[in-house]
Amino acid sequence: MLGALALFALASAASAGRVPPPTPEDARFTYFYTTDLGNDNHEIMKQRLSAHPADATKCAALCAGAIGATCKTWSFCWKAGTCSLMAALPDSISKDSKGKSTYNPKCVSGILNEDKKEDESGPAGSEDAGDDAISLQYSNECTMPIVAAVHYKDFDGEWVTGPWVALAPGQTKEVAKTRNTVFYSYANEKGDPECVKGCWDGEDTFEKVDARKFGFREQNMPEGIELGDDYTHVFDCGSKKKKLLLLALAVALPAVAGRSAPLPAQHAPEAAAAAAAAAAAAALPPRQHVLADGLRAVRYWQELTNYTHASCGWEHGTLMTGVLALQEVLAQRNESAAAAEGLWEWGRKFGDDFSWKLCSPNGRGGGELNPDNQICAASYAQTYLAAPLGKRDPIWLADAATRYRSEAASDDVHWQWVDTLFMAMSVWARMGAATGDEVYFETMHRNFQRAVTGFGLWSERDSLFYRDPPAKRAHDQEGVFWSRGNGWAAGALVAALRHAAPPGGPPPASPARARAAEGYAWTLRRLAARLVSLQGGGVGGCWPVSLTDPGFFKVPETTGTAMFVHALAYGMRAGLLDARTHLPAVRRGWECLSRVALQPSGRVGWCQSGGDRPHRNIKAEITSDFCVGMFALAAAEVAQLAG
């Protein structure tokens, strides 16, 4: 809240007028937002501070403690993001040669975050207006970085121009708060102010940004936008030259929408799953529609990123597990051969780009022992499994095999937070399936048991997973069960079961593997039963971001929901979960994913950004590579269950 107060105060520094009178709260301190205040912003600020007395007291104390410190200019304060309370000595205000109020060297500013970057100090006009303003946001849906500016009406009724806002591909930022539904936009590719490569400009008004004039285009928000809403203006590059892979997917889409043939005999569900399959066929959308949604999501991401792999870390590794899950389902049907081949080529290119090695030293801390740096190998192994026998190259598995043989011989376990269950088990299970070596399944089960019981990730009382062990759990996270964290665990159970004891396949050859599969299935049933009971606390069929605290943030959330749908659909398809209890949850969850999260453009929104607990960083326009991968995982399982 302190940062919000700072932005509210500093944003008001642009208006001109009078210095406010001393406030009655503390005779020693005078609350200022600028040396030239105008209108009635002082009264607004007083109301804001009155609503948050703890923040006001804290800020005043900071300012009091800084008495005697060097004075900072207001321009510096604006860029740095400072304390919203200015503690001024009685003689600290004087008049400059033009009669304007100014501070002498005795002033005290209580600067906070002095090293904060200019472009992180907040959007233009970012007063903490709450529900009394529209949050205007810019989104870059191009494959290159851009810089943009906005000309808008501020809270004083004045038309102002904000500073440059840099937007990376796929990035969305708030650029202004306003109460007016008309604004003017301008943008150009970063490093191309002369618009050699084209701009998003216009001739409706010409405004200065950094002392240079640019032509802005008038924009009108649609009817229905109200104060308190978010509105996103998208900069779209339009049609670009597509990769051959995109063309293959586009050609294949009409075929996917055609009549479906029966599943091949080897994939026929066992008797326990037959009832679920029959019920799902009536309750879920047609298989080909679900697949079309999955393809639309991954195609959008391809176009957004121009088919580049930014990293081999967990984010893109999760995307690729979803891409290759879709590939596996599409390969079951002859009419989807072109799309399946295109997705497989994407997986092969991903491996080639990183030389089929685990992510260290390209990745994060912890090197190859960190499961976040291992998830990329799940795609390597899946690409190997999906390749025709004559195309399988042992080099695709070599680096992971070397690393995992060493890890299997060690007693060390690095699965100490819930995300690592998915990151690691997705690889171990596929490596076992690809090589036929039981040591992968045995080590995976040993490490899983250590993680859920030894490290305390599983709550027996709640039938849910914690994100961290008790020793590393923040005091305010006790009893908090994160949706995506439990989604990671659900996805890990599916990965283990699919490859250790695949549905419709022969029983595991190893008694130890069979017992491990029974343990995974037991955990999945317990988790699934609890998830079904918690779905109603979410929005639109999605699960809440904080599973046992649905009031924490009432918005749909995609990442956890996608993994729950993925796991519940698999459980029914494998005959582990009954349709009467779990199919309604899958149907509602998929409706939220396909009708709310998936947007007409193909963007998968409402994704919580990277984090380690429930957060409020969830908006319709927020997407990510790992979120798209999770959506694709859900689509792959729902499609198989439906058809």
The pLDDT tens digits for 78-122 are 222 233 333 332 333 333 344 433 333 333 332 222 222 233 334
CA–CA separation, 356 and 437 (whole Å): 20
Domain membership of residue 101 (yes or no) is yes
201 and 170 fall within a common domain: yes
Range of the domain at 48: 29-112
350 SS3 class: helix
CA–CA separation, 106 and 89 (whole Å): 7
pLDDT at 36 over 80: no
Burial class (CB in 10 A: 0-12, 13-18, 19+), 548: middle
pLDDT at 330: 93
- Under 8 Å between Cβ of 631 and 593: yes
Can you state the angle between helices 314-330 and 625-642, rounded to 10 degrees?
20
**How much of the chain exceeds pLDDT 90, in percent?**
49
319 and 194 fall within a common domain: no
CA–CA separation, 30 and 19 (whole Å): 10
Residue 374: both structure tokens together: 């291992």
Beta strands in 31-178 (DSSP E): 93-95, 101-103, 134-140, 146-153, 159-161, 165-167, 172-178
- Under 8 Å between Cβ of 626 and 331: no
**Residues with Cβ within 8 Å of residue 536, at least 6 apart in sequence:** none
Amino acid type, 557: E
214 and 316 fall within a common domain: no
CA–CA separation, 292 and 258 (whole Å): 11
Length of the chain: 643
- Under 8 Å between Cβ of 122 and 7: yes
CA–CA separation, 398 and 636 (whole Å): 28
Domain membership of residue 563 (yes or no) is yes
Buried (b) or exposed (e) across 77-88, using 16+ Cβ within 10 A? Answer: bbbbbbbbbbbb
pLDDT at 377: 96
444-476 residue pLDDT tens = 999 999 999 888 999 999 999 999 988 777 766
Amino acid type, 290: V
CA–CA separation, 563 and 489 (whole Å): 9
Residue 471: both structure tokens together: 């020793």
146 and 98 fall within a common domain: no
Find tokens 């459980």 and name the residue: 571
* Alpha carbon separation from 270 to 289, 576, 598, 643 (Å, rounded): 25, 10, 32, 15
165 and 304 fall within a common domain: no
175 SS3 class: strand
CA–CA separation, 558 and 553 (whole Å): 13
pLDDT, mean over the chain? 76
pLDDT at 546: 95
pLDDT at 526: 96
CA–CA separation, 124 and 163 (whole Å): 7
Amino acid type, 416: Q
* Alpha carbon separation from 377 to 61, 242, 400, 612 (Å, rounded): 53, 27, 7, 23
pLDDT confidence bin for 366, thresholds 50/70/90? low
> Cis peptide before 361, with omega less than 30 degrees from 0?
yes
310 and 455 fall within a common domain: yes
Question: CATH number, domain at 340?
Answer: 1.50.10.10
Beta partners for residue 147, in sequence order: 166, 188
Domain membership of residue 200 (yes or no) is yes
Residue 291: both structure tokens together: 């697949």
pLDDT at 50 over 70: no
Distance in angstroms between the alpha carbons of the first and the last residue of the chain: 50
Burial class (CB in 10 A: 0-12, 13-18, 19+), 128: buried
216 and 83 fall within a common domain: no
pLDDT confidence bin for 434, thresholds 50/70/90? very high
CA contacts within 13 A on the Cβ side of 200: 25
Q: How many CB atoms lie within 10 A of CB 602?
A: 19
CA–CA separation, 73 and 553 (whole Å): 38
Residue 340: both structure tokens together: 């399946």
Least-confidence region, from 236-245, 330-339, 454-463, 564-573: 236-245
**Residues with Cβ within 8 Å of residue 39, at least 6 apart in sequence:** 15, 17, 156
- Under 8 Å between Cβ of 174 and 190: no
pLDDT at 560: 98
User: Among 112, 147, 175, which residue terminates a domain?
Assistant: 112
**Residues with Cβ within 8 Å of residue 515, at least 6 apart in sequence:** none
Amino acid type, 122: G
Q: How many CB atoms lie within 10 A of CB 481?
A: 24
Q: How many domains does the chain have?
A: 3
Nearest to 635 by CA among 298, 345, 317, 379: 298
Find tokens 């992180």 and name the residue: 120
Query: What sign for the dihedral angle of Cα 356, 358, 364, 367?
Result: negative
User: Among 197, 217, 235, which residue terminates a domain?
Assistant: 235
- Under 8 Å between Cβ of 67 and 82: no
Mean pLDDT along residues 287-306? 92
Backbone angles phi, psi at 274, to 5 degrees: -65, -40
Residue 233: both structure tokens together: 């203006």
Domain membership of residue 262 (yes or no) is no
pLDDT at 593: 97
Give the helix/strand (H/E) hosting 414.
Answer: none
Domain membership of residue 24 (yes or no) is no
Looking at per-residue confidence, does 234 or 123 come out higher? 234
Residue 164: both structure tokens together: 């440059």
75 and 163 fall within a common domain: no
Nearest to 321 by CA among 435, 465, 422, 170: 422
361 SS3 class: coil
Nearest to 175 by CA among 139, 142, 224, 219: 139
116-161 residue pLDDT tens = 223 333 444 444 444 689 999 999 888 788 999 999 999 888 899 9
pLDDT at 495: 98
404 and 452 fall within a common domain: yes
Nearest to 552 by CA among 563, 539, 533, 541: 539
Domain membership of residue 251 (yes or no) is no
- Under 8 Å between Cβ of 521 and 513: no
pLDDT confidence bin for 351, thresholds 50/70/90? very high
Nearest to 502 by CA among 273, 317, 260, 261: 273
221 and 339 fall within a common domain: no
pLDDT confidence bin for 222, thresholds 50/70/90? confident
* Alpha carbon separation from 132 to 142, 179, 469, 586 (Å, rounded): 31, 7, 42, 37
329 and 474 fall within a common domain: yes
434 SS3 class: helix
Looking at per-residue confidence, does 247 or 124 come out higher? 124
396-429 residue pLDDT tens = 999 999 999 988 998 888 898 999 999 999 999 9
Question: CATH number, domain at 105?
Answer: 3.50.4
514 and 602 fall within a common domain: yes
CA–CA separation, 179 and 270 (whole Å): 59
Domain membership of residue 219 (yes or no) is yes
Domain membership of residue 559 (yes or no) is yes
User: Among 82, 112, 142, which residue terminates a domain?
Assistant: 112
Nearest to 373 by CA among 443, 314, 448: 314
Amino acid type, 426: S
